[in-house]
Amino acid sequence: MSAPIDKYYNSRDAHVPIPKPRVSLSPHFRQIVARLCERQPKGWTTAGLHLLSSASPSEQREIERHLVKLRKGVRKHFKDPKHINTLFIAPPLARKARVGFYLFPEELRGRHREIMKILAGGELDQEGVETIALFGRSTENWGAPYEAILISRREK
């Protein structure tokens, strides 16, 4: 798995210029990481690491497709208290954090952080879930990769 990195450093040591290898990310995941680096909110490196370890590039593209569908559903049904507004990624290894995306309409902007805490608490109540990284995103401000981040851990 480290072959591209090994090749880069071996070439650099031999004074052969080659481009630095880049991680393969879907456009949305790349936008999230770029915004994390730009804004540097509290816990941004932890949130970024959880996000990057949550899904492969092909899974990331699938997640993006599901988020587009979820956005349509949230915009139509947000007044129904039982509507689906969150997508969680359950990583294969128990030691990794569960990553989620909470979509909210502008009408719920004033409560989105409160709702994110409730959603994270519900996930932490599940067996084997120790850490949650939840990204909040407005359905109307879709150009922004996220608007809020919540990292929550199970109390011991």
Digit-coded pLDDT (tens) for 49-74: 999 989 988 999 999 999 999 999 99
CB neighbours of residue 49 within 10 Å:
13
Q: Which of 98, 103, 101 is nearest to 153 (CA)?
A: 98
Phi first, then psi, for residue 46 (nearest 5°) are -65, -45
Taking 80 as the threshold, does the pLDDT of residue 93 lie above it? no
Give the separation between CA 140 and CA 48, rounded to whole angstroms.
Answer: 24
DSSP SS3 for 148: strand
**Amino acid residing at 44:** W
User: Where along the chain do its domains lie?
Assistant: 3-153
pTM score of the predicted model: 0.86
Cβ–Cβ < 8 Å for 117, 85: no
Q: Any idea what DSSP says for residue 108?
A: G
Q: What is the pLDDT of residues 102-143, one digit of tens each?
A: 999 999 999 999 999 999 999 999 888 899 999 999 999 999
Mean pLDDT score, 61-90: 94
Mean pLDDT score, 22-46: 93
Phi first, then psi, for residue 59 (nearest 5°) are -65, -35
